[in-house]
Amino acid sequence: MSVTSVREGRPEDYPALAAIFYDAVHRGAAAHYTAEQRAAWAPGLPAPAVWAERLAGQTVLVAVREGAPVGFMTLTRSGHVDLSFVSPDHMRLGVGSSLMAALERRAAADRLSTLTTDASLAARAFFAAHGWTVQREQRVERGGVALTNLAMRKSLGP
């Protein structure tokens, strides 16, 4: 098994991150969302300009194995984890935990005391295992299709 390293994302990573996002939604979340819900959530690979705009202004952390991105997390300046995805082929191999540790170090360095996220049903157990708590269940609509996610929170310090 190769070691996962985590580094800052670069624009040249964005196509691979878009593919990880799409694959994680369609394969990784299949046990938690219907095919219709997954198609509404990620109808196709995000357009490069749209994806670059989504990632702009956020800290993008990329997990790399054997030179290739296998997962990523993004953090806004206010402490919101906007995106958190691991390639389905690399789930349950410590990739997400490596990303979370790096993200929490970055948040602490940025003097953030609280982190928030809107976690998918598929990500709930992962976030809970890392000390996050559910604040409330939420329903969001994508393309006329309702999806459930969870507002979650983690305190980083006193």
At 29-75, the pLDDT tens digits run 999 999 999 999 999 999 999 999 999 999 999 999 999 999 999 99
Confidence check: pLDDT of 96 > 90: yes
* Cα within 13 Å of Cα(8), Cβ side: 7
Q: What is the mean pLDDT of residues 116-121?
A: 97
User: Quick one: pLDDT at residue 43?
Assistant: 94
Predicted structure pTM score: 0.94
Residue 14 near residue 51 (C-beta atoms within 8 A) = yes
Q: What is the mean pLDDT of the chain?
A: 94
Query: Do residues 152 and 134 make contact, with C-beta atoms less than 8 angstroms apart?
Result: yes
Structure confidence at residue 3 (pLDDT): 66
All structural domains of the chain: 5-112 (3.40.630.30)
The pLDDT score that the predictor gives to residue 157 is 77
